[in-house]
Chains A and B, each alone.
Chain A
Amino acid sequence: MRQNQSLTGSIDWPLVSVYVLLLIMGLSTVYSVAYNPEHPSLFDFSEKYGKQIMWIGLSLFLGVCVFLIDSDIYRKFALPIYLFVIALLVIVLFMPAVNGAKAWLGIGSMGIQPAEFAKIGTAIILARYLSSVNLKQQNAQTVLVANAIILIPMALILLQPDAGTFVVFTSFLFVLYREGVSYDPVILSILKLIPIRALHFKQTWIGSHFIPILFVVIFLSITTLLISNETIILSLFPGKEIPGYWGMIFFLALFCLAAYLFMRFIFSKRDRKRALSIAIIGFVLASILTSIVNYTFQKLAGHQKERIELVLGLREDPDGDDYNRNRAMAAVGSGGMFGKGYQNAIVSSVQTNHVPESETDFIFCPYAEEWGFMGTFVLVGLYIFMILRIVFIAERQKSSFNRIYAYAVAMILFYHFTINIGMSIEFAPVIGIPLPFFSYGGSSMMSFSIMMFILLKLDSQRKDVLN
């Protein structure tokens, strides 16, 4: 029997504390935004805050249920759970569209979004698959199956369509990276098609670090496009300007220097030389990439260039396509150092309605407007702490199933945090995804809570599990 140890003693209280803190902050923000003077009671279930309390209560109830269930069940029933959520994702496609997306599975007036729960199912089966005893990280089969597990729900979600959740599923790719799944088999088989002997390697560095490299390339390309048409005014040297492209190279150099110093700090003595070469090679490759992107972009025909500029939001159109972001940034930016005070949001209040969805996807706006930088700094800190804590938990697991699952949770939360807040500060495209534990909404509240409670349960029993 595993029940002989104290249940509460093995729970990770720091993580629970942050979780509860975020719930309270989120609820208070929903109360502030959706406040209806005719129904001032927090427990008025006809208002959004009342409903949110209901969702939180339901989530906590489900959390207790999760704790009562033996943690082994997830590993054992990983495939049925996965198939169940996939089935839900298929069924939802036959449901009537709400706001142009077939994302809701109606139960009476209430509805749930299967996509939210698909994340849990995918995380569990990915953990189950990657923790298989005889898994070979370098095998073609491994990389194909692992990617298939991720791509199937992604494809179904794209059919809804729900761009936000679709993007969130790419977070699992970082889990594959952490577990050492190599893309080498894929890359090598592609290289074999090229009839040049010199290109036939046994393994490539790119393949094993494929995911971070892919993201760095995408990130650098977009940043280059954003910055290449700008000129940077140097405030230290009045009147001096440099073209955006050279500014980009300068920042890359600075970044690589910082990365080198960071690596020196964490690497062992033996690896310090390697850190230098990584930094230099990284800088050279990044510079070449930005040069190519910049050059190609400048050579593009006018209309192609225009289209890219429009997609990237380079063309100012505050009342048109970029309306939401413009209003959201005005709300966040007008918060100032200490904010306008609780319930004093103007731009993002529901009454003015300048910021759409200010109690769900854009809930960061009223929070930032009311609490200012003091509030947003605390919130960013709490989320980063929560995610780091989950990584810490992941790394202390003996069971690789537990570790992989924990990483998946960390990555999903990280994605939600980064994109949701990034929407309001021009760091991420405007795709509607909720801020975990904070935004109003039943499906996200329940799915994130279940995800969190499964993690806590797994962690509380980490000493009992061997594989």
Chain B
Amino acid sequence: MKFEDRKYVILSIFVLIGVLYSFKLFYMQVVDDTWKLRAQQIAEKRREINPPRAVIFDRNGNKVVSNKTYYNLMMVEKNIDHLDTLGFAKLIGWTVQEVKDRFVAIIHGEGKYYNRHSGKTTSNYQTIRAYPFIKELTAEEMSRIAPHLENFKGFYEEVSSMRDYPYANGANILGYLSEVTQLEIDNDNFYKPGGRIGRSGIERYYESQFRGEKGIRYIVTSAMNNTVGAFEDGKYDTIAKQAPPIHLGLDVLLQAYGEKLLLNKKGCIVAIEPSTGEILTMASSPNYDPNLLVGNRKIRKNYPALLNNEDKPLFPRPLASEYMPGSTFKLIQSLIGMQEGVITKNSGFPCNHSIVGCHNHPSAQNISQAVQMSCNPYYYAVVRRIIEQGKKSSSFEDAEIGLNIWAKYMHSFGLGKRLETDITGLRSGVIPDSKYYDKWYGHHRWKFSTIRSISIGQGEVQLTPLQLANIAVIMANRGWYYMPHFVKSIGDNGPLNRFHVKHKTMVDPIHFSPVIEGMRSVVHELGGTARRARIDGVIVCGKTGTVENYIGKVKQPNHSVFIAFAPMNNPKISISVFIERAGGGGGDWAAPIASLMIEKYLNGEVKSIEKEKRILEAILPTSK
């Protein structure tokens, strides 16, 4: 056969291809890793799973904040097949036009992001990707929709978890969550678009303790970007860990009671356990239900209304309102006077109405009586002695030295500086010192008579209600305080270390007894300013304040203030109550409210029905 040799050509080609293919396959499958990486890129996805946030309990084990399951109705455009728009609209309770608008909004709005490199806003919307059609449906809403979803291809339900507040109280303490901003995503890789972060209150302060540990699942995804299953049966997966529960010092029932008492009033109540510094109650009025700000849907609906409400329900008054303390300030003035040695517990000063107005009462013969009767001229005299100690011949220079000594004492009571508690949004109040007045009047251009209003807690002095309550704590403890705080324990750990540090005032404990005796008389002796604060069987020590209030030169109704602790020996609760523009004195409104709170806390129930009824029915300020 002439052409038989040609079989070798053909055989060589066969063998050559076989060898070539074997080499190429060996290279691709064994030597080169490129395609293995590509396969991972194509078919494996790393999914992060956010655990539910930590649950919050109050001091008695009541669940204050928990998590509730919500559902997102997801859609994948590519899977939608001949949508029965009318039927679908009916199912979700929308109009056809709303459904159409939502589609347009998703297709043109979702997936939009700001590209930092190009400086343009671009969209990575993809028809094969899932986007939420309706976010945050409740279980009831979803149970109506879910059974019919099989008729609407391309739609499915997805579970998500959101905050739930079984008690509608303490909104300003607990704070709320909202979607993370791009900046937060850039700064912390824990956060992904659409995730939530604590935006205010302790949710914000303890964000890292609340969020827990993310779980990571490696999954196999299909060309349609759907999950097909776990990668290697979940060998490399880690489980999402919920953060341990957080216990608050808060007594949620007391908080609820406080908020109830404050209904139809403007003001706040702060109650602290003096022996620990744990905040029992921090009520602010007007208030809002924390359930109003759960999830984007509700935030978008309710937040603007809350923000624009002229009563400022979002504003945490106990932390951020700065009020003149009025006569409650006299407690500290007494203590400073004694510690400085300018007076003794038995010093008496005449009630000289020519210096400053006062109510009709006999002149105070000692500190206790001065406190009990809240004598204004008495405290002018005391503070004058503190400020003008005669260390310099010039009354201007003397006042400068005296005021700065005074201010230092005030700082040791936690005043004029921020109380570093475990919440954000605090203000520091104002304790004026020499620099402060130099700015106003000029260096050595002021003396005691210029600034004498500070003696009775008026003028430039400003305190937050939390600071007021802390004064009550210091009185109860006879000279020291723990920094007030909300969180009692995180899992098995106690509060933050800095809440174990005892802060001592510059006043020796010995000087507290006469002042506390005065405080007892305020409530329990005839001629005391807070007789309404009496409780059967409990010795309450308190001090009223009636803060004069001007807008411009126009006199407004007085603020009613009261601080107290009880019982007198071994105190369990310290409290401050501030009622704005109440009209009456501290004894009229703030004192009875404080006593109701004390009674509720100490006895678990309120027997002073008449007192309670009077408060609940009151609408303050009246002239509005």
Q: Which residue numbers of A lie inside 8 Å of B, CB to CB?
A: 137, 174, 177-180, 212, 262, 266, 326-327, 329-337, 346-347, 349, 351-354, 368, 372-373, 376-377, 380-381, 383-384, 387-388, 391, 395, 407, 410-411, 414, 418, 421-422, 425-427
Contacts and interface: CB of A to CB of B under 8 A. Distances in A.
B228 A373 contact: no
Interface string B16-27: 011011101110
Nearest to B36: A334
Nearest to A175: B10
Contacts of A381: 18, 22
Given A380-B22, A425-B24, A336 B10 contact: no
B222 A384 contact: no
B8 interface: yes
A354 B32 contact: no
A425 B223 contact: no
B7 interface: yes
A266 B36 contact: no
A352 B18 contact: no
B21 A326 contact: no
Interface in B462-503: none
Contacts of B2: 180
Given A347-B42, A354-B222, A373 B26 contact: yes
Contacts of B231: 346
B35 A330 contact: yes
B28 A425 contact: yes
10 contacts: A330-B43, A351-B220, A372-B29, A373-B25, A373-B30, A377-B22, A391-B7, A411-B10, A422-B21, A427-B20
Contacts of A353: 222-224
A175 to B, nearest CB: 9
A378 to B, nearest CB: 10
Nearest to B12: A262
B9 A212 contact: yes
A67 to B, nearest CB: 27
A53 B38 CA distance: 34
Interface of B: 2-4, 6-15, 17-18, 20-22, 24-26, 28-30, 32, 34-36, 38-44, 220-224, 228-229, 231
Given A179-B3, A332-B28, A388-B15, 4 more contacts: A212-B13, A333-B39, A337-B29, A352-B222
B498 to A, nearest CB: 52
Q: Which 8 pairs from chain A and chain B are nearest by CB? A: A333-B35, A334-B39, A384-B18, A180-B3, A330-B39, A330-B38, A373-B29, A352-B222
A377 B28 CA distance: 12
A420 to B, nearest CB: 11
Contact of A391 (B14, B35, B44): B14
A275 B521 CA distance: 126
Contacts of A354: 42-43, 222-223
A332 B42 contact: no
- Report which residue of B25, B30, B35 has the largest number of chain A beta carbons within 10 angstroms of its beta carbon: B25
A105 B43 CA distance: 37
B221 A352 contact: yes
A399 to B, nearest CB: 13
A333 B8 contact: no
Given A372-B29, A377-B25, A333 B38 contact: yes
- Report which residue of A266, A329, A347, A391 has the largest number of chain B beta carbons within 10 angstroms of its beta carbon: A347
A333 B38 CA distance: 9
- Report which residue of A137, A335, A427 has the largest number of chain B beta carbons within 10 angstroms of its beta carbon: A335
Given A346-B44, A351-B228, A368-B29, A391 B18 contact: no
B36 to A, nearest CB: 5
B221 A384 contact: no
Nearest to A373: B29
Nearest to B38: A330
Given A180-B3, A212-B9, A332 B35 contact: yes
Nearest to B17: A418
Nearest to B8: A266
Contact of A336 (B11, B30, B42, B222): B30
B39 A346 contact: yes
A426 B26 CA distance: 14
Contacts of A327: 42, 223
A391 B222 contact: no
B412 to A, nearest CB: 68
Contacts of B40: 334
Contacts of B32: 333
B227 to A, nearest CB: 10
Given A377-B26, A391-B11, A425-B21, A352 B39 contact: no
A372 B35 CA distance: 13
Contacts of B9: 177, 212
B225 to A, nearest CB: 10
- Report which residue of A334, A353, A411, A427 has the largest number of chain B beta carbons within 10 angstroms of its beta carbon: A334
Contact of B42 (A262, A330, A418): A330
Given A178-B3, A333-B35, A427-B20, A376 B25 contact: yes
A261 to B, nearest CB: 12
A388 B44 contact: no
A426 B24 CA distance: 9
- Report which residue of A212, A346, A354, A427 has the largest number of chain B beta carbons within 10 angstroms of its beta carbon: A346
Contacts of A331: 39
Contact of B43 (A266, A326, A352, A418): A352
- Report which residue of B18, B30, B34, B222 has the largest number of chain A beta carbons within 10 angstroms of its beta carbon: B18
B364 to A, nearest CB: 88
A391 B220 CA distance: 45
Contacts of B228: 349, 351-352
Contacts of B13: 212, 414
Given A352-B228, A373-B25, A427-B20, A388 B6 contact: no
